[in-house]
């Protein structure tokens, strides 16, 4: 037995000097071990393409040259994910989505990052502009440019996180992502 009445509330306990230190220690330990999402990681932020965020001295950010675009029609969506299997290509689990206008051939996009670290990027050319994934018309590409294979020759199968993971520093990281059309 601790000698404390059973009906003591946590707030009453926290006022006792011997217990207050324990409560503060538990709170601190919880903050240290809480999942990243609870420590300020954000998801689903949508921004427009601002190349000024990739200027010299800026960052962290990724300057991406998207190549192989068949047309200037539709939309270009660049989604950046934390390099965690629980986030990669999961709906609304991207940290930043940059919406840009595609230009036939190539387009440059700047993706601001919340911090330096490991990420993965997926680019979608919504060629007909319907904001849906149409495997027969849309194009896609990913960081490190892995081949996008098809399951039974029909449905694209995205590469695993280990093939698309990259590290971004405190400045501006540059990369090229080639769009593949199915």
Q: What is the largest CA-CA distance in the chain?
A: 76
Same domain, 21 and 59: no
pLDDT band at 86 (very low <50, low <70, confident <90, very high): very high
Residue 122: per-residue pLDDT: 97
Nearest C-alpha neighbor of 124 from the set 47, 179, 50, 163: 179
Answer yes or no: is pLDDT of 42 > 70.
yes
Same domain, 29 and 48: no
- Domain carrying residue 148: 43-181
CATH number at residue 124: 2.60.40.10
Single pTM value for the model: 0.76
Q: Is residue 1 part of a domain?
A: no
Answer yes or no: is pLDDT of 99 > 60.
yes
> Please, are residues 142 and 148 in contact by the beta-carbon 8 Å criterion?
yes
């Amino acid at each position: 037995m601790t000698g404390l009445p059973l009906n003591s509330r946590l707030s009453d306990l926290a006022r006792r000097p011997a217990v207050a230190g324990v409560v503060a220690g538990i709170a601190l330990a919880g903050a240290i071990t809480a999942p990243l999402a609870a420590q300020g990681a954000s998801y689903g932020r949508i921004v427009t393409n601002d190349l000024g965020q990739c200027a010299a001295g800026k960052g962290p950010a990724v300057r991406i040259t998207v190549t192989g675009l068949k047309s200037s029609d539709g939309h270009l969506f660049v989604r950046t994910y934390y390099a965690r299997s629980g986030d990669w290509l999961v709906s609304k689990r991207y940290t930043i989505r940059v919406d840009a206008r595609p230009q036939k051939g190539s387009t440059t996009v700047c993706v601001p990052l919340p911090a330096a670290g490991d990420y993965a990027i997926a680019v979608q050319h919504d060629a007909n502009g319907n904001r849906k994934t149409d495997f027969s018309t849309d194009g896609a590409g990913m960081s490190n440019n892995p081949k996008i294979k098809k399951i039974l020759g029909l449905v694209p199968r995205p590469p695993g996180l280990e093939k698309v993971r990259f590290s971004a520093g405190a400045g501006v990281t540059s990369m090229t992502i080639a769009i593949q059309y199915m």
